[in-house]
Amino acid sequence: MRVMVADDHPIFREGLRLLLGSVGGIDVVGEAATTDDAVGLAATCLPDVVVLDIDMPSDGGIVAIPRIRAAAPGCAVLMLTMLEDDATLAAALRAGAAGYLVKGVGQQEVVAALRTVASGGFVTSAAVAGRVRSTFLACDEVRPAPLPQLSEREREVVALVGKGLANPAISDQLYLSPKTVRNLVSSAMGKLGAPDRTALAIAARDAGLVQ
């Protein structure tokens, strides 16, 4: 089985590569730190399965799912993420993920999940399995996570911009450095095509990020 790992944390990515490399029948054919790199690498490596995080640079994991599947036809995408909220779970499955695991699962569960999705099956970790029917399968329409092209942290910042908070206030509320807040605002504006802060605030309100 040819497996590609896409995660923006190098230590986690290296650990997963070593873990999978120790299992017979699994060949780790590539690693990516951004979703853009993951799409390009999938097209050249043609993996059977891509293990993909959600909160990643570039477009974010959910937006990348159909791009990866288009770049590598027949490839299954297995999400491996810290996020386990209903909206993100449903959005990932709607986008075409074949499996959804929450980080912290053991080696045997990861390997079993890889084999399941590689053979055309569907799998979720125990942390979310009980909610799949109520959040996805039993619903005629499931709203995706708002502004799925943004990372979770970018969504938090954009929501506060939508509430009218300036960068120093956002920095204090989220316990982030001013530079990090500036970078997150700039990144979100680029992804959303927002020319200025006012447009970003409007996008936040339109997406329902502002309560």
pLDDT in tens, 125-154: 777 766 665 655 544 444 556 788 888 888
Predicted confidence at residue 135, as pLDDT, reads 57
* Of residues 17 and 137, more confidently modeled: 17
Class of domain 152-206: mainly alpha
Whole-structure pTM value: 0.64
DSSP 8-state assignment for residue 54: S
Which are the contacts of 193, defined by CB distance < 8 A and separation ≥ 6?
A: none
User: Matching CATH topology for 2-137 and 152-206?
Assistant: no
Q: In whole angstroms, what is the distance from residue 52 CA to residue 40 CA?
A: 14
Predicted confidence at residue 80, as pLDDT, reads 93
- Mean pLDDT within 175-186: 92
Q: Which of 53-57, 84-88, 140-144 has the lowest mean pLDDT?
A: 140-144
Q: Which fold has domain 2-137?
A: Rossmann fold (3.40.50)
Closest C-alpha to 3, from 68, 47, 33: 47
Q: In whole angstroms, what is the distance from residue 88 CA to residue 148 CA?
A: 9
Predicted confidence at residue 132, as pLDDT, reads 64
Mean of per-residue pLDDT scores for the chain: 86
Predicted confidence at residue 44, as pLDDT, reads 94
- Mean pLDDT within 155-182: 91
Percent of the chain with pLDDT over 90: 40
Q: In whole angstroms, what is the distance from residue 4 CA to residue 38 CA?
A: 8
Question: Does the pLDDT value for residue 105 go beyond 80?
Answer: yes
Question: Does the pLDDT value for residue 183 go beyond 70?
Answer: yes
Domain ranges of the chain: 2-137, 152-206
Position 48 confidence tier, pLDDT thresholds 50, 70, 90: very high
